[in-house]
Amino acid sequence: GNLTFTMIKPDAVKANNHAKILQHLIDAGFRIVALRMWCMSRNDAKRFYAVHKDKEFFEPLVDFMSSGPIVAAVLEKENAVAELRKIVGATDPEEAAEGTIRKLYGTARRYNAIHASDSDENARTEWSIHFTEADIICHIACSFSNFISVFVGCMFTSMFFASRLSVMKKAG
């Protein structure tokens, strides 16, 4: 699919790296469809990481993710999930490839700066915790509306110059 979800974690926000990470995503060709900075409650974090509820790291992860602000984003790009996971890098920053977000901004396996959805289905599930469907649809509709406005504007400009050129040729 063309949409995915990412979340810049409290460690990266606290270190004031969230703008750099967003710029990294934009430079990699992603378009931000929806963006929200907020503090997740423990219940929000438990809901988000419910898939890990039986693992030993669940409670520390919930504590960490509710410890400060996060930046949630829905991103658009062709093959979005795979492309995002490629530039985010391995879970452990020490194992992440050079130039990846986790290599640049992560400090440990748990404090790895960013979350990236692992499938189209999980992306939709995860962004629904942070955004309404109306948020997503609104941004897509606004983008389409802007495209139509620019397209129509270009058409009128072309028609104006074509008519002016025609008048100039006749007057010629």
The angle subtended at Cα 171 by Cα 165 and Cα 172, nearest 5°, is: 80
Of residues 54 and 138, more confidence is placed in 54
Query: How many other CB atoms are there within 10 angstroms of residue 40's CB atom?
Result: 22
Q: Is a pLDDT exceeding 70 seen at residue 145? A: no
Among this protein's residues, is 115 annotated catalytic? Answer: yes
State yes or no: pLDDT of 104 exceeds 70. yes
Mean pLDDT across 75-86? 97
Provide the angle, in degrees to the nearest 10, between the axes of the packed helices 120-130 and 80-88: 80
Catalytic option among 18, 24, 115, 139 = 115
Q: Is the pLDDT of residue 81 over 90?
A: yes
pLDDT (mean) for 45-73: 95
The mean per-residue pLDDT over the stretch 110-115 comes to 96
Q: Tell me the C-alpha distance between 31 and 21, whole Å.
A: 13
**pLDDT given for residue 141 in this prediction:** 57
Give the chain's length: 172
Tell me what pLDDT residue 169 has. 54
The answer to which of 71-75, 89-93, 125-129, 145-149 has the lowest mean pLDDT is 145-149
Per-residue pLDDT band for 142 (boundaries 50, 70, 90) equals: low
Mean pLDDT of the chain: 86
